[in-house]
Amino acid sequence: MKLSDTKMIVTGGAQGMGRHFAIRLAEAGGTVAVGDVLEEGLASLAKESESLPGTIHTRRLDVSSEESVGAFVDWAFDAMGGLTGLVNNAGILRDGLLVKKDRNTGEIIKMSAAQWQAVIDVNLTGATFMARDVVAKMVEKDQKGVLVNMSSVARYGNRGQSNYSAAKAALAANTKTWALEFSRFGIRVGAIAPGMIETPMTQGMNQKARDALVAAIPVGRIGEPEDIWRAVQFIIECDYFNARTIDVDGGMAF
């Protein structure tokens, strides 16, 4: 698929990687519907994209809400005059050890149900709702295309990320599952597993933890959104790529 022919939804597109993907698609002449809960970011993205060859439409989207997802997909199809796929990018972090012992008091502290569920609701259930409703709309309207899921190298397991690792591992597994299910409709599914990427999410990290992570990256630097965009572009453009997850992590070893 040519980038100029795309009519893509990008979730979590008000900032970070999602914003970068949306701009890159519009720079190539594509049409993009961007959703996020961050309405100020959506407004600034719409303004920034006014002079680009393609078009970016924006609307508030909460992927953890089934109602919000359904309404957004219907709106996006109408706004773009069609739908060729999805970049399933929205995600959050609520890191913490599953069980820890307070060094001073000896108190046993467990990851809360809310801390677990918030990440599952957005990173897994929300991504699944988006894939389901986008594909249903594409099939209904006889549209072919591609889904790009954002997994993570944390899917292999990472200390302090039981919730995040579980969601991202499931999303990588479902990339294969959905590819098998959707191939009959002419819809491919691929995934990208970024390592540590320079985004507002990682910029808020503790400096000591950040430095330790960078030291574990053989290329010696944090990734940039453009590094991940190149993988997104490959999946969209390569019609023979399907059902696989690409690690883009600088060779990071946990």
**Mean pLDDT per 10-residue interval, the chain, length 254 residues:** 98 98 98 98 98 98 98 98 98 96 97 98 98 98 98 95 98 98 98 93 78 90 97 98 98 76
What's the structural domain count of the chain?
1
In a domain, 250, yes or no: no
Owner of token pair 């913490």: 96
Q: Which residues contact 62 (CB under 8 A, 6 or more apart)?
A: 37, 68, 69
The CATH number given to whatever domain includes residue 144 is 3.40.50.720
In a domain, 216, yes or no: yes
Distance CA 76, CA 219 (A): 39
In a domain, 87, yes or no: yes
Q: What is the pLDDT of residue 254?
A: 59
pTM score: 0.96
CA distances to 23, 38, 115 from 16, rounded to whole Å, are: 11, 12, 22
In a domain, 69, yes or no: yes
Please tell me which residue in 116, 164, 178, 182 is annotated as part of the active site: 164
In a domain, 251, yes or no: no
Distance CA 233, CA 33 (A): 17
In a domain, 102, yes or no: yes
Distance CA 116, CA 25 (A): 33
Beta-sheet strand order (sheet of 55-60): 55-60, 31-36, 7-11, 85-88, 145-150, 187-194, 245-248
| Catalytic annotation present for 164 | yes
Q: What is the pLDDT of residue 252?
A: 87
Q: What is the pLDDT of residue 145?
A: 98
CA distances to 79, 95, 114 from 150, rounded to whole Å, are: 24, 18, 23
Q: Which domain holds residue 113?
A: 3-245
In terms of Cα–Cα distance, which of 7, 22, 133 is closest to 81?
A: 7
In a domain, 144, yes or no: yes
In a domain, 253, yes or no: no
